[in-house]
Structure 1
Amino acid sequence: MIRILLLLFKAGLVFVAISLLWVGIYRFVPVPFTWTMAGDLLGGRSVTKDWMPLSQMDPDMPRAAIAGEDARFCEHHGFDWKGIASAAYSNAQGKRLRGGSTISQQTAKNVFLFQGGGYVRKAFEAYFTVLIETLWGKRRIMEVYLNVAETGIGTYGANAAALRYFHHDASHLSPTEAGRIAAVLPLPKKRAAIDPHGFVRRHGNALSRYVGVVRRSGLDSCLR
């Protein structure tokens, strides 16, 4: 039993060391690939991505992401406990299922983990969320998120989405364009920002209006 415990302890130390190095490297280096991208390739789909630093991206894009995905992004430290409690209550009432994941959690999952996996994956997601909040900071988290998040079938990142849907890069986006890209984020394999219908049109137009609210209210202050 002691030998087994020692082996588990050593394995834990190795995992922590590797994960710290992994997260540390991605603090400075663009993320080259993710497990989700690998899944697309294995499924026979092509992958389109085009990394753009946050400093070059239109500021309305992160504002739209904050409006649509995580209004308290600049306030929390990786976990929005109010949002989690609200989502749990809504789900318990039998309403439309809602998620409580922050942009930080989504980034940790997208970069370091597989999709799915239940509670085990959630535990690792929490671990990597703490690491990126500590080692990266908010601006880097948003930069990585907007470059690796799936924005359509086989399309990753806001810049690739802008090129695909609007035929120009993400350095200049109208609030409507940014809002429609953000509206695709929750279900990218089922939605498109170009010629949107139904939910994407309504939600995208709403987010385009909230972009100004985010700016005026300083909800993006950690990115400036």
Structure 2
Amino acid sequence: MSVTADAATYPVDQRNRVKRRHDRGFYDHATVHALLDAAILCHVSYVIDGQPYCTPTLFWREGNHLYWHGSSASRMLRNLSDGQPACLTVTHLDSLVLARCGFNHSADYRSVMCFGQARLEEDAEEKRRALVMMVDRFFPNRTAELRQSTAQEIKATAVVVMEIERASAKIRAKGVADDDEDYALPVYAERLPVRTVIGAPEPCPRLLPGVARPGNLAGYRAGRLLEEALAEAHAQAYAPG
């Protein structure tokens, strides 16, 4: 595919260019955003005082910006007040691939890597709005049903935002791919599909009598793929109008 930057494609440079198996690389917004919106957990890497850190955290996307949160007491997050280069990654594992030799054992996956400047959200109103979306992005309109966050809760929570400057996706979806001569070997090979599926809801045992599960949680039903529910929730949360 072309790596020429346009309105619907992230610019490509040495940071995000897919070098190994470049045929699996994608830079278009549609592919990158779809992989981000079907996820809830990411890993964020940055270097502070010469020490590399990689933090797993929940995140969400708004347009060309990524958000995550943490404790205001975190030394790492406090170092982001002036902005720091960061890299955020997401991976969807789709299958384990058992081939006829160890070298060809692999996995089918969809991954995305985003680069930008991570910074603390210092504007009070924007921070409050982001904390609302931290819930409503995954569970549309849920904050309208909740008690409001206290001033202390908001103060104790840091919100980090990163504009996506560069991004690339990499996808493998081919199953077993042995060398031609190896297909003649009497060795078992297979593809093991992997899925993250929502289980049956487990209501809190301390629910008050008569409190029913809200209808806006219907998308999170037993047996549904989590990534489908997350993508649907994102579309609802950011629907035009």
> Could you tell me the TM-score, scaled by structure 2's length?
0.28
Which structure has the greater CA radius of gyration? 2
Bigger proportion of residues as strand? 2
Bigger proportion of residues as helix? 1
